[in-house]
């Protein structure tokens, strides 16, 4: 496979085998034998693929950014294929397409589900369902690191305190990210336990929150978040997937703080604070702080959870927050706050320059003193343009198949931004189980497109359409 560096993927197939083994032990311990065979199948197959990929003969050619992009995209199709095995071989007679759809939805941290009521599911399968999100969130962080060269070089510099970008050290760096990711997951679990969440719920929710996923271990979140205190605490935990995943590491472990690194999170904090002030000013304190804070955080972190009593008239505003997204190095999706901010700043400075030809305020980069590279601006602009084109295409496609335009637009936005449908956006009753198979395949493709960063799609198209 000359276009792919499958050795990069071996780490995740071996990780799947570990999770499969854990589910087997869990099933034996709690006498949940109904689906235990399915985890044995995923264990064997993932271990075989992982070992084969790990010991694949090294190619002599230089690894380009195109090889990396294609490898990441391959992973988004291939890894969920293995992860879908427990669904397909379970006792619930789930078709291959539905199994794959559920897994892709979890792996991309989207949260669309074919299950109308998960109370009837085996607990081990619910745990596996949550695990697909956790593995997917980790893979997303890995892909961001692997593809860092296609973004702003200053973003790359901001991470040098934590990792190196030497291709030969990719697996080593993946392990480093794994450790940090696991520690943060355990931290969320402990906090939830302190506030009297059940062990099973705490564990599943920690897998969901760290990955910015949308799967719940129960049907209704409002039953668990039955107090204002719990709602606020849960909202604060959701913010972990909004800010950079490396923020904790920099604060706790590094003596020499990287100020450029903290700058992005500082802007994100002021962004969040501004939203809270604007929302409360606009609504005249009509809603409880805990509910409004929960709704805002749920949208900006691209998790999309709802407590069921969100104001319907704000659904499109919440949808806009979903599109903006969070930190570049978080597990949240969206276009990313950085891109929106840079484009806004660049446009504003250019507007001022026309009003004042001798403009004192030059186009400075967001996190440094260097001039803002027009190439970076063009990249961010193209990302926005690709999103708009993709949104229009998918919305038109869904409308063609009989879905109302409003629901088509909302579902398309949530698909590309990898955010679960809920009452926050007015599409909580949308049924994915009964969708035509063509629609499911298209949603699978666009969930992946939204997760791999839209810019990567343009780079691949440029490579193969304009080879000269």
Q: How do the domains of the chain map onto residue ranges? A: 258-465
pLDDT of residue 29: 93
Query: Tens digits of per-residue pLDDT, 345-376?
Result: 888 877 777 776 554 444 554 444 444 677 77
CA distance 123 to 132: 14
- Residue entry with tokens 């296609």: 150
pLDDT, tens digit, 9 for 90 and up, residues 276-293: 999 888 776 667 888 889
CB 278 within 8 A of CB 219: no
- Tokens coding 228: 């204002």
pLDDT at 46: 97
Q: Is residue 84 within 8 Å of residue 100, measured between CB atoms?
A: yes
Structure confidence at residue 154 as a pLDDT band (50, 70, 90):
low
Most confident segment among 264-273, 302-311, 359-368: 264-273
The conformation of residue 373, written as its DSSP 8-state character, comes to P
When computed from its CA atoms, the radius of gyration of the chain, rounded to whole angstroms, is 22
Which residue carries 């903006």 as its tokens?
Answer: 324
Higher pLDDT, 240 or 461: 240
Residue 415's pLDDT band, with cuts at 50, 70 and 90, is very high
Vertex 206 angle, CA 426 and 239, to 5°: 60
Per-residue confidence band for 468, with pLDDT thresholds at 50, 70 and 90 = very low
CA angle 399, 84, 127 (to 5 degrees): 105
Phi-psi region of 441 (alpha: psi -120 to 50; beta: other; left: phi over 0): alpha
What local confidence, expressed as pLDDT, does residue 148 receive? 74
At residue 442, does pLDDT exceed 50?
yes
Rounded to 5°, angle at Cα 67 from 111 and 70? 30
pTM: 0.92
364 vs 339 pLDDT, higher one: 339
From CA 462, how far away is CA 468, in angstroms rounded? 10
The helix-helix angle for 228-238 and 289-300 (nearest 10°) equals 20
Residue 58 or 398, more confident: 398
- 4-62 pLDDT tens trace: 778 889 989 999 999 999 999 999 999 988 899 999 999 999 999 999 988 876 666 67
User: What angle, 0 to 180 degrees and rounded to 10, lies between the N-to-C axes of helices 437-451 and 454-465?
Assistant: 100
């Amino acid at each position: 496979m000359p276009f792919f560096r499958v050795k990069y993927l071996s780490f995740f197939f071996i990780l799947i085998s570990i999770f499969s083994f854990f589910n087997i032990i869990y099933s034996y311990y709690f006498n949940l034998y109904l689906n235990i065979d399915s985890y044995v199948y995923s264990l064997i197959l993932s271990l075989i693929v992982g070992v084969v990929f790990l010991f694949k003969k090294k190619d002599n050619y230089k690894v380009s950014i195109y090889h990396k992009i294609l490898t990441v995209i391959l992973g988004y199709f291939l890894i969920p294929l293995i992860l879908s095995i427990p669904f397909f071989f379970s006792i619930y007679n789930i078709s291959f397409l539905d199994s794959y759809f559920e897994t892709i939805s979890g792996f991309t941290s989207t949260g669309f589900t074919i299950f109308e009521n998960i109370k009837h599911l085996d607990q081990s399968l619910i745990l596996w369902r949550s695990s697909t999100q956790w593995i997917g969130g980790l893979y997303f962080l890995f892909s961001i690191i692997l593809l860092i060269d296609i973004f702003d070089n200053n973003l790359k510099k901001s991470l040098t305190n934590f990792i190196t970008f030497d291709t030969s050290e990719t697996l080593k760096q993946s392990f480093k990210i794994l450790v940090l990711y696991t520690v943060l997951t355990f931290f969320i679990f402990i906090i939830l336990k302190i506030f009297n969440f059940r062990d099973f719920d705490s564990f599943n929710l920690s897998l969901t929150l760290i990955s910015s996923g949308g799967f719940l271990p129960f049907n209704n979140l409002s039953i668990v978040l039955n107090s204002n205190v719990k709602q606020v605490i849960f909202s604060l935990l959701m913010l972990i997937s909004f800010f950079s995943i490396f923020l904790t590491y920099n604060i706790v472990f590094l003596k020499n703080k990287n100020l450029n690194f903290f700058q992005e999170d500082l802007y994100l904090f002021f962004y969040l604070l501004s939203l809270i002030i604007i929302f409360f000013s606009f609504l005249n304190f009509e809603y409880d702080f805990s509910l409004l804070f929960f709704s805002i955080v749920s949208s900006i972190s691209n998790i999309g959870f709802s407590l069921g009593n969100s104001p319907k008239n704000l659904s499109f505003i919440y949808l806009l927050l979903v599109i903006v997204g969070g930190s570049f190095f978080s597990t949240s999706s969206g276009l990313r706050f950085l891109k929106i901010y840079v484009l806004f700043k660049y446009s504003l400075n250019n507007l001022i320059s026309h009003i004042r030809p001798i403009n004192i305020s030059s186009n400075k980069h967001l996190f440094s003193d260097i001039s803002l590279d027009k190439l970076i601006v063009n990249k961010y602009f193209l990302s926005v343009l690709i999103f708009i084109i993709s949104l229009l295409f998918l919305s038109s496609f869904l409308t063609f198949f009989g879905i109302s335009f409003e629901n088509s637009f909302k579902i398309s936005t949530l698909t590309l931004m990898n955010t679960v449908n809920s009452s926050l956006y007015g599409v909580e009753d949308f049924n994915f189980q009964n969708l035509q198979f063509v629609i499911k395949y298209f949603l699978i493709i666009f969930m992946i497109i939204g997760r791999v960063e839209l810019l990567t799609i343009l780079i691949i198209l440029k490579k193969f359409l304009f080879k000269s």
